[in-house]
Amino acid sequence: MRERTLTIIKPDAVSSKNIGKTLSRLEKENFNILGIKWIHLTTAQAQGFYHVHRERPFFPSLVRFMTEGPVVVMVLEKENAIADLRRVMGATDPAQADPGTIRKDLGTNIERNAIHGSDSSQSAEDEIGYFFSKMELV
Ligand code: CMP
Instruction: Encode pLDDT of 105-122 as tens digits.
Output: 999 999 999 999 999 999
From the CA of 135, how far away is ligand 1's center (Å)? 30
Short-list 94, 125, 137, CA closest to 6: 125
State yes or no: pLDDT of 1 exceeds 90: no
Using CA positions, which residue lies closest to atom 8 of ligand 1? 111
Q: Give the mutation target among 10, 12, 113, 118 for probing the ligand 1 site: most ligand atoms within 8 A of CB.
A: 113
Domains of the chain: 2-136 (3.30.70.141)
Residue 133: in which H helix or E strand, if any? Answer: none
User: Whose CA is closest to 72, among 5, 7, 138, 4?
Assistant: 7
Q: What is the pLDDT of residue 22?
A: 98
In 3D space, the residue among 68, 38, 66, 74 whose CA is nearest the CA of residue 50 turns out to be: 66
Express each pLDDT in 29-51 by its tens digit. Answer: 999 999 999 999 999 999 999 99
Distances 6 to 49, 55, 72, 129 between C-alpha atoms, Å: 12, 23, 11, 10
56 conformational bin, left if phi > 0, alpha if psi -120 to 50, beta if neither: beta
Q: Is the dihedral of CA 39, 64, 50, 81 positive or negative?
A: positive
Task: Name the catalytic one among 40, 51, 53, 116.
Answer: 116
**Which protein residues touch ligand 1 with a CB less than 6 Å away?**
53, 58, 62, 92, 110-111, 113, 116
Whole-model pTM over 0.95: yes
Please report which confidence band the pLDDT of residue 137 belongs to, taking 50, 70 and 90 as the band edges: very high
Phi then psi for residue 38, to 5 deg, are -110, 110
- Is 40 annotated in the active site? no
